[in-house]
């Protein structure tokens, strides 16, 4: 799989101009930023909280907070990364409030060895897309990522779904690069293991 590292310089400049205008009170410039990133922010919030109402509230809160705190955006990072960081904080806060999963922090889940060692070695044949229809496949993907511990789910979402670089993910989560890499490996392996229950070749490979 090719490396997907964003070229920051290309993406920063148009946003920086919009942010500058928004800082001067130009709501149209801010509206353009909202249009550009509302889907991404909603998706991040939905992935982390696994709750649609929460994701709706968080999406609003993120942009309102961003608008209030525009002056604090220094332009050291991409505007989208800054927004994502706010979305992650808001989402984790919601999870804590819901208390469905004891305490929720980026430091939890690290101790678990669950899924760190692959156990299912069946090939995925035919391809999942050939096995399942679009709706069924989406349901499987939703159920599977829902079962991941929030800390792993968040890293996987930012790095693999939202395509943030490892460094941007580390920055958004307040983690070190090695910590992101370690969580990402666990997240990918756990998802692989869980998806294999649905996608494994029948009558082939080891039993799960």
Partner 1 sequence: MTCTDFLSQLTDYFDGQIDPELLAEVQKHVRECHHCEVVLDTTSKTISIYREHEIYEFPTELRERLHSAIMAKCRGGC
Of the chain, the end-to-end C-alpha distance in Å amounts to: 26
The three state secondary structure string of the chain is: CCCCCCCHHHHHHHHHHHHHHHHCCCHHHHHHHHHHHHHHHHHHHHHHHCCHHHHHHHHHHHHHHHHHCHHHCCCCCCHHHHHHHHHHHHHHHHHHHHCCCCCCCCCCCCCCCCCCCCCCCCCCCCCHHHHCCHHHHHHHHHHHHHCCCHHHHHHHHHHHHCCCCHHHHHHHHCCCHHHHHHHHHHHHHHHHHHHHHHHCCCCCCCCC
Q: Does the protein bind partner 1 through residue 152 (CB under 8 A)?
A: no
Among 106, 145, 158, 164, binds partner 1 (CB under 8 A): 145
Measured from the CB atom, is 13 or 176 closer to partner 1? 176
State yes or no: residue 160 binds partner 1 (CB under 8 A): yes
Mention every residue, 6+ apart, whose C-beta is less than 8 A from residue 167: 177
For partner 1, the binding residue among 21, 23, 96, 181 (CB under 8 A) is 181
Q: Does 176 bind partner 1 (CB under 8 A)?
A: no
For position 96 contacting partner 1 by CB under 8 A, the verdict is no
From 5, 13, 100, 112, residue interacting with partner 1 (rule: CB under 8 A): 5
Asked if residue 3 binds partner 1 (CB under 8 A), the reply is yes
Between residue 48 and residue 67, which ones bind partner 1 under the rule CB under 8 A? Answer: 52, 55-56, 59-60, 63-64, 67
Of the candidate residues 16, 29, 77, 128, the single one contacting partner 1 (CB under 8 A): 128
Task: Please give the residue ranges that form the binding site for partner 1 (CB under 8 A).
Answer: 1-5, 27, 30-31, 34-35, 38-39, 42-43, 46-47, 52, 55-56, 59-60, 63-64, 67-68, 117-118, 121-124, 127-129, 134, 137-138, 141-142, 145, 156, 160-161, 163, 166, 181, 184-185, 188-189, 191-192, 195-196, 199, 205
């Amino acid at each position: 799989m090719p490396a997907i590292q964003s070229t920051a310089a290309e993406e920063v400049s148009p946003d920086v101009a919009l942010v500058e205008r928004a800082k001067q009170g130009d709501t149209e410039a801010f509206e353009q930023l909202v249009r550009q990133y509302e889907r991404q922010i909603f998706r991040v919030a939905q992935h982390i909280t696994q709750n649609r109402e929460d994701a709706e509230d968080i999406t609003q809160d993120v942009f309102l907070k961003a608008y209030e705190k525009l002056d604090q955006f220094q332009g050291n990072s991409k505007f989208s990364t800054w927004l994502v960081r706010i979305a992650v904080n808001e989402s984790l806060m919601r999870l804590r409030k819901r208390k469905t999963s004891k305490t929720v922090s980026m430091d939890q889940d690290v101790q678990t060895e669950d899924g760190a060692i692959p156990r299912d070695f069946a090939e995925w044949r035919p391809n999942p897309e050939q096995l399942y229809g679009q709706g069924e496949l989406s349901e499987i993907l939703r159920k599977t990522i829902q079962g991941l511990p929030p800390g792993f789910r968040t890293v996987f979402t930012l790095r693999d779904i939202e395509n943030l670089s490892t460094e941007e993910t580390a920055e958004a989560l307040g983690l070190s690069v090695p910590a992101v890499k370690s969580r990402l490996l666990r997240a990918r392996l756990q998802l692989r293991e869980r998806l294999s229950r649905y996608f494994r070749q029948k009558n082939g490979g080891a039993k799960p």
